[in-house]
Structure 1
């Protein structure tokens, strides 16, 4: 994989090194495709009209592949796995149910539960039925079961879902929004030595202003 400055590159990655773009950077390293990166700043060009035409949310990451726009980190991970099948990051149909289940569990209930915890948003018992995750503790317990049932989140094969779920767990444990359960630590240990993760981390860390 190489980052290119060529305007002819058909894969463009919009990101900021201190964003969820780090998840997609890891995924790009896993699939091994050439791409052109466009770095955006939060208060300036991320809210400029030319980027809002790509993602009206004014958020990163975003991907443009052969003229098609994909936003939302989970969707980008799933898309890249399908767009570059030789990387083997989308499981066979027999494991696809678990793949989709936990990929979108992390994008939905897990992220909502963790962000509510970080923001100190209280969900009282009478409101549990109104939020998709129910309770933070139940969400974490469910995730513990998910990473304990099999070698990887969707089966015996490392997939794009591990990139996404693993990123949430690693960040959460690092910043204290997800507890350091033994099951999480064992799962993350299987991901930590992946060359693509190390390469992606080095690329983004080198882009952070000192």
Structure 2
């Protein structure tokens, strides 16, 4: 088996590092700088967008954070990071809600973009407050985002909350802090943070 991970420690690659550490399988890390590393012909042949993170598993290329999390959970079922087939409704719902409405709402807010009241129906997330309320309902409904067990959806959803709390891009609600407190102490997350933090001085 070959599993290659293309990343930068100051990118969304940190999400995938955490996921890889949860999976527990060996992988090779390729650190790319933003100025030239992601624009080389070699890397653009892997991801024409010139963005990280990317994984290449036995020749299969996967981009986009949520897709990589879902792929890894399926590729390595022994890690137990996805619910059984047929019981993945909440798992898929919140994994892709984090990748779609949450990311869009947070990005728009950071850019100072406000959806006009008469245009909310055109926007997938509606408005920022609606997204925050939906997130709060999700993290208080059960210990983890898809139920009683930790899954790949928590890696992605939790990372969105962690970054939002750190950078002030989401509201600092007690429910978000309590949820993140449950996740951040996981050994795989602690290892992933240490690995990526150690790479930052090289950037």
Q: TM-score range by the shorter chain?
A: over 0.9
53, 69, 73: which one pairs with 1:81? 73
Deviation at 1:94, TM superposition (A): 5.1
Deviation at 1:167, TM superposition (A): 0.4
In the other structure, the counterpart of 1:4 is: none
Deviation at 1:178, TM superposition (A): 0.8
The answer (yes or no) to whether the contact 1:95–1:155 under 8 Å persists in 2 is no
Matched, 1:184 2:176: yes
**How many Å separate the matches in 2 of 1:111 and 1:161?**
14
CA RMSD of aligned residues (A): 1.0
In the other structure, the counterpart of 2:187 is: 195
Gaps of 5+ in 1: 1-8
Deviation at 1:122, TM superposition (A): 1.8
Matched, 1:28 2:23: no
Give the TM-score taking structure 2 as reference length.
0.97
Please state whether the residue corresponding to 1:43 is helix, strand or coil: coil
In the other structure, the counterpart of 1:169 is: 161
In the other structure, the counterpart of 2:133 is: 141
The answer (yes or no) to whether the contact 1:14–1:61 under 8 Å persists in 2 is yes
Q: How many equivalent pairs are there?
A: 202
Give the TM-score taking structure 1 as reference length.
0.94
CA-to-aligned-CA distance 1:133-190 (integer Å, 9 cap, x gap)? 0100001100100111111000101000000000000110110001111111111111
**How many Å separate the matches in 1 of 2:60 and 2:85?**
25
The answer (yes or no) to whether the contact 1:95–1:154 under 8 Å persists in 2 is no
Pairing 1:5-154 to 2, within 5 Å after superposition: 10-93=2-85, 95-154=87-146
Gaps of 5+ in 2: none
Please state whether the residue corresponding to 1:144 is helix, strand or coil: helix
Of 17-26 and 184-193, deviating more is 184-193
